[in-house]
Amino acid sequence: MLVIVCPYCGKRPEIEFSYGGQAHIARPSQPVDLDDQAWAEFLYMRSNTKGLYAERWRHSHGCGRFFNALRDTTTDHFTATYKTGEPQPEAAALRVPATVTP
């Protein structure tokens, strides 16, 4: 089981969280302007990265809030978690594994 650092509550076990998929996918502000391809991109296409991946988590059995995380999908190692609205940390600044080991 992973240990995940909620940016609001701190270190908690994985079972307190639910997964929210890829992060930083903004809902189109004018959906009617989108053609079918662009709409499919928004709804269904995910980068499914092998490596460092920005994703959403929700501390559903804790504070209930969404936040974002950077996790390496080849190791499941979290390099950072950060609050919704904060910019994604630069990968280069994360050389030193920040907080958590799985």
Partner 1 sequence: MSLQRFSALALIRRAVNRHESWQPQWRKAEPKPAYDAVIVGGGGHGLGAAYYLAREHGLTNIAVLEKGWIGGGNTGRNTTIIRSNYLFNESAALYDHSVKLWESLSQVLNYNVMFSPRGVMMLAHTVHDVQVFKRHVHANRCNGVDNEWLEPEQAKAFCPPLNIGKDIRYPVMGAALQRRGGTARHDAVAWGYARAADALGVDIIENCEVLGIRRDATGAVEALDTSRGPIRTRKIGVSAAGHTSVVMAMAGVRVPLESYPLQALVSEPVKPAFPCVVMSNTIHAYISQSDKGELVIGAGTDAYTSYTQRGALHINTHTLDAICELFPNFRRMRMLRNWGGIVDVTPDRSPIIAKTPVPGLYVNCGWGTGGFKATPGAAHVFAWTIAKDEPHPINAPFTIERFRDGHLIDEAAAAAVAH
Q: What does 16-59 look like in DSSP terms, one character per residue?
A: G-EEEEES--PPPS-GGG--HHHHHHHHH-----SSEEEEEEE-
For partner 1, the binding residue among 30, 44, 87, 95 (CB under 8 A) is 44
Between 50 and 79, how does the x/- string for binding to partner 1 read (CB under 8 A)? x--x-x---------------x-xxxx---
For partner 1, the binding residue among 10, 18, 31, 99 (CB under 8 A) is 18
Q: What does 48-86 look like in DSSP terms, one character per residue?
A: --SSEEEEEEE-TTTT--EEEEEEETTTTEEEEEEETTS
For partner 1, the binding residue among 3, 34, 45, 93 (CB under 8 A) is 45
- Looking at residues 21 to 40 of the shown chain, list those that interact with partner 1 (rule: CB under 8 A): 21, 36-37, 39-40
Strand partners for 83: 67
Position 8 contacts partner 1 (CB under 8 A): no
* Contacting positions for partner 1 (CB under 8 A): 1-2, 14-15, 17-19, 21, 36-37, 39-41, 43-48, 50, 53, 55, 71, 73-76
